[in-house]
Chain A
Amino acid sequence: MNRASQSRDNGELILRLRGISKQFGAVTALEDIQLDVHAGEVVALVGDNGAGKSTLVKTLAGVHQPTAGAIEYLGKPVTLDTPGKALEMGIATVFQDLSLCENLDVVANLFLGHELNPWRLDEVQMEVRAWTLLQELAARIPSVREPIASLSGGQRQTVAIARSLLLDPQIIMLDEPTAALGVAQTAEVLNLIERVRERGHGVILISHNMEDVRAVADRIVVLRLGRNNGVFTPENTHEELVAAITGATENSVSRRSARKLETQGE
């Protein structure tokens, strides 16, 4: 694990996208996208349905190749042509649909595909590392020897995030990590994201939930119809964000709130 030994200065630029475009036939999914991610920073990627968030994530995960543009990783230009290569370089992705094996226990899931000692699995060592990692994240998993099926949604999300950290990546991308979670579990996952940031990883967070985004993000990058539509901080107002996402100050959200104000005023 040579990446672990590399110093990870907070604020160091890890990933720089310049002019990324992606076309699917006649459809332009991404056009001239700019994105910077620094170590120890949570960058939220927001936008309406069809804004290109998923396409951008898949481009970074090595699933899609950009039609044009340059990706710079740790100062060097790179091409991410397979998911395996992205993972190897240190870009880990936690997909929306968790990707855990319910019939295997927590340890087996954490180490899936990267087991210690392939011909004589080192269960003790794997269990120790699992506990250590979970404790670092202050994650509350009752037992690492229970199958995933017995865990709650938040605990499963915790395991999925912990697994992405196991190979000590530079960047982790979380696709809608709180979408299916309750209030308390969402809070736990947000705590977890903050702890991942404290460990000095860069985090790209994709979410539809503005509250969650404003709670943890350092910068909020808005995509609209496949283009950059401004970079915001949590200090910006909700209205400003919604305006950037929908592309107009006059939009369905603002009209709805105005209508509510009117009815209250009557």
Chain B
Amino acid sequence: MTQDTKSPTAQLDRADTRVRHDEGITGEIRAFIDRVRSGDLGMLPVIVGLLLISTVFSTLNPVFLAPNNLVNLLFDAAAVGFISLGVVCVLLLGEIDLSIGSMSGLASAVIGVLWVNTGLPLPLAIAGALLAGALTGFVYGSLRNRFEMPSFVATLAGLLALLGMQLYILGPTGSINLPFTSGLVRFGQIMIIPAWLSYALALVPGAIIIFGGLKTIQQRSAANLSSGGMTVVLVKAAILTAALLFIVFYLEQGRGVPWMFGVFVLFVVILDYALTRTQWGRSMFAVGGNAEAARRAGINVRRIRLSAFVLCSTFAALGGVFSAARLASASQQAGTGDVNLNAIAAAVIGGTSLFGGRGSAWSALLGVLVIMAISNGLTLLNLSSSLRYMITGAVLAIAVIVDSLARRSRASHGRA
């Protein structure tokens, strides 16, 4: 070993002088540019997309950027967002679930039948819908594990089967209205987080970044590892807090931040923690990256797959419950049309790869904002649904092309 690359006092991860280590704010920016150039796009497509969408639509119709329209947009985003959250789980494994739309429709039908028609208490009805989701996911996972059935085919079959079941339990009337005065519908249509709480919640992420950053720096320097320094942490926290405060302030000019959206964000945070900070999450990425390697490392690949399918269908069912609340009805139309593709497109646009092993829970949140902004803007322009379908289809195609190109670029830059 050559001695010149090491000095006795060097930090453990700074011993190798061949590597450039980016420090401070400029370093952070330089690293970001490097990442983007090598195909690790991160949040960039979302930000570019949102800017583009808001410019185009607000010039065509100024109402688009009105606070109350954005509040409506957030109400709509929450339901699809939940479905998209589940899609992230299966995409991480390189699998797919094409029946999420039907699953959400079935869940809303279950709510309608159990709660309104049969008169069961609401929590039980919701539990029933979620159970239906979990069971469906269990079937998909078992088909994949036991019979090596491609999830593409299994869930395509499920799409039809679940749709049939939805029509069957709704019966000949085909539609059940949910009572307007009930908590569920109020939650889906009018309940707003109080202004003071919204502002307080907007401060939380910044605080977490600062305290978490402090703790990490302490731990790392105690363990003789390099730590990024406090400036970067502070700047990040400041930018994020300012942005969140502005968003809350702007929404408060209208009705405010919907509870439904708040609950969605909470689930995003929980899933993000599970994916990045637990053994289960690490196993998900490992199975998505190289299932055989994961198996040899002692990971129970079948159980991980099963968990992903169950989570996906359960989230889809939860999304169905929320969209029933949003529409105050359970109908034959629930979950049909563009729901499927919107949820998958949202996950992909947000940065979760269709090829497995890459992505995050946040991609569901960011992607669903883009997709819902497009759909909302097109509705404001009074375009017919034929045009809306075509445009949404094109957006999904573009998102997948970006994903494929980025993947190729990452491969040639050696970044997986």
Contacts and interface: CB of A to CB of B under 8 A. Distances in A.
Interface of A: 83-84, 87, 95, 98-104, 108, 112-115, 118-121, 124-125, 127-128, 131-132, 135, 138, 140-145, 147-151
Given A102-B416, A112-B294, A113-B299, A127 B225 contact: yes
Given A99-B297, A104-B286, A128-B225, 14 more contacts: A99-B290, A102-B289, A103-B288, A104-B285, A112-B286, A127-B13, A128-B12, A140-B16, A142-B16, A142-B19, A143-B16, A147-B416, A149-B414, A150-B413
Contacts, number: 109
A104 to B, nearest CB: 6
Contacts of A115: 279, 282
Contacts of A121: 277-279, 282
A231 B12 CA distance: 43
Contact of A101 (B225, B278, B294): B294
A100 B295 CA distance: 11
B319 interface: no
Contacts of B15: 135
Nearest to A139: B1
B13 A144 contact: yes
Contacts of B5: 140
Interface-centre pick from B219, B223, B279, B415 (highest chain A CB count, 10 A): B279
B37 interface: no
A38 to B, nearest CB: 27
A149 B13 CA distance: 19
Contact of B415 (A100, A112, A127, A150): A150
B223 A125 contact: yes
Contact of B293 (A101, A131, A138): A101
A133 B18 CA distance: 20
A143 B415 contact: no
B288 A128 contact: no
Nearest to A150: B414
Interface in B390-416: 410-411, 413-416
Given A87-B298, A124-B219, A147-B415, A131 B13 contact: yes
Contacts of B146: none
Contacts of A148: 416
A131 B299 contact: no
B58 interface: no
A112 B285 CA distance: 10
A112 B297 contact: yes
A113 B292 CA distance: 13
A113 to B, nearest CB: 4
A26 B289 CA distance: 39
Nearest to A110: B297
A142 B294 CA distance: 24
A5 to B, nearest CB: 22
A147 B39 CA distance: 14
Given A115-B279, A143-B13, A103 B223 contact: no
B214 to A, nearest CB: 14
B245 to A, nearest CB: 30
Contacts of B415: 147, 149-150
Nearest to A167: B298
Interface in B8-66: 12-13, 15-16, 18-19
B216 interface: yes
A101 B216 contact: no
Contacts of B411: 149
Nearest to B416: A149
B416 A103 contact: yes
Interface-centre pick from A87, A138, A143 (highest chain B CB count, 10 A): A143
Contacts of B297: 99, 112-114
Interface-centre pick from A103, A128, A148 (highest chain B CB count, 10 A): A103
Contacts of B298: 84, 87, 113-114
B224 interface: yes
A124 B225 contact: yes
A119 B278 CA distance: 5
A99 B1 contact: no
A143 B416 CA distance: 15
A98 B296 CA distance: 10
B291 to A, nearest CB: 9
Nearest to A115: B279
A102 B290 contact: yes
A112 B289 contact: no
A118 B279 contact: yes
Contact of A124 (B216, B282, B294): B216
B220 interface: yes
